[in-house]
Amino acid sequence: MASLIERLPNELQWMVFSHLDYQSLIHLSRMNRYFQQTIDPQRMAASFDKAQFVMRAAKDFPQHRPSEKGHDYRPGNFECYVCFRVRSPDHFDMLQPQSAFVDRLGRIVRNREPDPRTDRQIMLRRFCIDCGVCEGLHAPFDCLTTRTGKDLWVCNCRRVWSKPGCLRCPNCRGDCPLRPRRKLLM
């Protein structure tokens, strides 16, 4: 049996959803199958609301805080300001770039020196490795070290593999670089 809100016309449902904050959208999207298919918190919430929520979640939610009690050592979790999720430290690069240069179209400048007349420098907030690969901040053949000390490399097909566990990509047959590629210009 459909709930009252499910029986409303789509336009009215969207009006109700537009007044919800990011956290409420997340909770509602997990309520049942209908809301899971209807509500996309990432797309529906405002960016500032998502940023506020992940900052608060990383700081206030006890499951994300570091713990140093006896044998139960946990380094704590970190927030990603691209996908707006709080994730474990093995999803974050130890030496992620703090800034990047973008061209007039907003694309990351790679494989050339930035031109001060056309390119501009932007400051980056913390981002997870997956978002770094998707956004072009981690390029193919970059070598990464997670905050937990795990070594990774980015393949030409933009998949991330563990070193030395996988030295050849099974998808595109690309080889792991022997030396780390130079990071983005700061």
Mean pLDDT in consecutive groups of 10 residues from the start of the chain, 186 residues:
86 92 91 91 88 85 73 78 89 90 86 88 91 89 90 91 88 79 50
Is position 47 within any domain?
yes
The percent of residues above 70 in pLDDT, for the chain, comes to 91
Q: Is the dihedral of CA 112, 96, 107, 180 positive or negative?
A: positive
95 and 84 share one domain: no
Is position 14 within any domain?
yes
Q: Residue 99 phi/psi, 5° resolution?
A: -150, 165
Q: Is the pTM of this model over 0.75?
A: no
Q: Which of 54, 74, 89 is the last residue of a domain?
A: 89
The CA dihedral of 32, 88, 94, 74, to the nearest 10 degrees, is 170
Could you tell me the residue range of the domain that residue 25 belongs to? 10-89
- pLDDT at position 184 is 47
Tokens linked to 53? 């929520």
74 and 98 share one domain: no
Is position 167 within any domain?
no
pLDDT in tens, 19-50: 999 999 999 999 889 999 999 998 898 888 98
CB-based contact 159:171 (threshold 8 Å): yes
152 and 94 share one domain: yes
